[in-house]
Structure 1
Amino acid sequence: MSDLSEPRLVQPTTALRESYLAGERADCLAEGRSTEWLAPAVEDFDAFVAERSGVFVRWDVPCTTFWYVVGQDYLGTLMIRHRLTPELTNVGGHVGYHIVAPWRRRGHATRMLSAGLPECRRLGLDQVLLTCTRDNEASRRVILANGGVPDRPYGDEDRFWITLGEGPGTGEGRR
């Protein structure tokens, strides 16, 4: 049995309704963004979760979403895109992630990405591309801490490759 006090990746679940909504609202408020996008979740959280569970299509590619949680607290989201389009090769990459504002600056993003890399490997990916805007130093540190190797930039985006090893844990960079 796993220790529920340790952060872990889980499939989206209705059991985290209040924590998810509170975290995402706080995130929007901290960044000065509208919370309107949360309306479907507030109205029908079961349907909202169902749309994000398992494999679904977004950006014209299959995607898998995980929530990063500790106990019953939602900390953030990690999304794995199963393949790249030309657009995702430049901006977006295979993996997107965020930690909601109340849980930032505690190392959660680094650990969440590390936990997500074996999931990428299970999906058959040998290496993954991650991108971040040039001014996002926090994301850059997360990617580098997980073995990201810089590649050519694209516009305002920096791009990094992580080569996935055979076993669990982080990648070792692109060769």
Structure 2
Amino acid sequence: MIELLEPPRLTVPSTALKTSYLVGEQADMRHRGSDTSWLTAASLDFDAFVAERTGVRERWGVASELFWFASGEYYVGSLVIRHELTDDEGGGHIGYHVVYPWQRQGHATRMLREALVKCAGLDIERALLTVAPENAASIAVVRRNGGVEDSLNDEGEMRFWIDTASA
């Protein structure tokens, strides 16, 4: 296992992480058996790729912000904060993933904890997260961060609310 010299933290997307980002995402997509073709365009013009992901942007019809979880030169995963819920509340306020090589090392728990602090700073008092029922690892992450199960959404995902003040 690679020993990180400093704990990863949420950062804005950066061109400095090009190689680590592309390798991490490719490994993750291949591990899941997903299409990696989008990485070709990203690798050809990484500066533009990063620029499209930086700052508050409208995604899913609401203002949102993308962060990368990184330690030095190492990209560990991505996280998005929706500043408000979509009409159908699909996806909730926070979505995250840790790329395959870094999974099962506690990164998602720390990433979500940092996101909850950012949500509190955006005056989001209770953050909604949705998780596929078969995703036991993510359910555990949400519960470790104070998630309280509510119901299933229209897509059959579990809904969890987290009080951001406790973050």
Partner-residue secondary structure (3-state), 1:33: coil
Question: How far apart, in 1, do the equivalents of 2:136 and 2:163 lie?
Answer: 21
TM-score (norm 1): 0.89
| Structure 1 stretches of at least 4 aligned residues deviating more than 2 Å after TM superposition | none
Opposite residue 163 of structure 2, the aligned amino acid is T
Q: Deviations over 1:12-59 (max 9, x none)?
A: 000000000000000011000010122321121011101111101110
Question: How far apart, in 1, do the equivalents of 2:122 and 2:37 lie?
Answer: 33
Question: How far apart, in 2, do the equivalents of 1:131 and 1:38 lie?
Answer: 26
Residues 66-145 of structure 1: pairs in structure 2 closer than 5 A? 66-87=67-88, 89=89, 91-145=90-144
Question: How far apart, in 1, do the equivalents of 2:82 and 2:102 lie?
Answer: 24
Question: How far apart, in 1, do the equivalents of 2:87 and 2:101 lie?
Answer: 34
Partner-residue secondary structure (3-state), 1:52: coil
Please name the residue that 1:26 is paired with: 27
Whether 2:157 is the aligned partner of 1:157: answer yes
Partner-residue secondary structure (3-state), 1:86: coil
Opposite residue 65 of structure 2, the aligned amino acid is T
> Where does structure 2 lack aligned partners over 5 or more consecutive residues?
none
Give the CA RMSD over aligned residues.
1.4
TM-score (norm 2): 0.93
Please name the residue that 1:173 is paired with: none
Identical amino acids, percent of aligned pairs: 50
Partner-residue secondary structure (3-state), 1:93: coil
Change (3 A) 1:100 1:54: same
